[in-house]
Amino acid sequence: MSDLITPPPRTSELVVSRMQELIRTGDWPVGGRIPAEPALVTQFGVGRNTIREAVRALEHSGMLVPRRGDGTYVRSRNVLAAAIERCVPRSDVLELLGARRAVEVEAAAAAADCATTAQIEGLRSLLSATEGALEVGDHAAYTQSDIAFHAAVVAASGNGLLVELYGGIVEVMQRVHSAVLDASRADGVHPPGHSVVVDAIEAGDAAAARAAVHSYLDHARDGLT
């Protein structure tokens, strides 16, 4: 048994953690300006130097971005998104799609083993909203619902790390390569496999869930090539 004592986190680290939570929950939305420094000092009950240290840390991670003379804005909800964007060339959409495939395929298979009834009902509700938006030609609503659907498939895996990885990949796609999201509805038809993956997850069929994800991501890839 180790006698090592873990030192408590620094105050700035606690502030960083709380700021990250505000960003993830949408209290500080992407694209929005965070409160000015005096307001943050009051909000967190810490000194200016602590606030500055925390903000600099989040700027370095890519979650915040300063705008000279205009304050600091939320750039990303996911700390991994900035790292992914640095690693993948802006032009290489197929690499991003391949990474998304690797995560989503295995997440769907895992979901077939552990998804709850509530999660399956949520998937069907999101699927219905996605199809309804496509039918009326509301592309903005379609994209929003479709992203939420796929994120829910990954969340149903119960694997928090896959959820974080997937969130980073999709955020980069939205910001840098919106074409990969548009490709799935370019022909006005909901890609095959979406209802199948929900059926497979409900049936506990991991192989069918994997195949369904391959089906709709192949459709997206074909729309780009």
**Which structural domains are found in the chain, ordered by start?**
11-77 (1.10.10.10), 81-222 (1.20.120.530)
Considering only residues 210 and 139, tell me which one the structure prediction assigns the higher pLDDT. 210
Segment 109-143, tens digit of pLDDT: 999 999 999 999 999 999 999 989 888 888 888 88
- Residue 174 confidence class, pLDDT cut points 50, 70, 90: confident
Task: Report the pLDDT value the prediction gives residue 89, as an integer from 0 to 100.
Answer: 67
- Tell me how far CA of residue 217 lies from CA of 65, 74, 96, 122, 151, in angstroms: 32, 30, 12, 21, 14
C-beta pairs of 96-99 under 8 Å, 24+ apart in sequence: 96/169, 96/172, 96/173, 96/176, 96/177, 96/180, 97/180, 97/217, 97/220, 97/221, 97/224, 99/169
Q: What is the pTM of this model?
A: 0.76
78 near 167, Cβ under 8 Å?
yes
Q: What is the per-residue pLDDT across 192-204, written as a single tens digit (0 to 9) for each? A: 789 999 999 999 9
Task: Quote the pLDDT of residue 205.
Answer: 97
Q: Residue-wise over 168-179: b if at least 16 C-beta within 10 A, else e? A: bbbbbbeebbee
Position 172 pLDDT exceeds 90: no
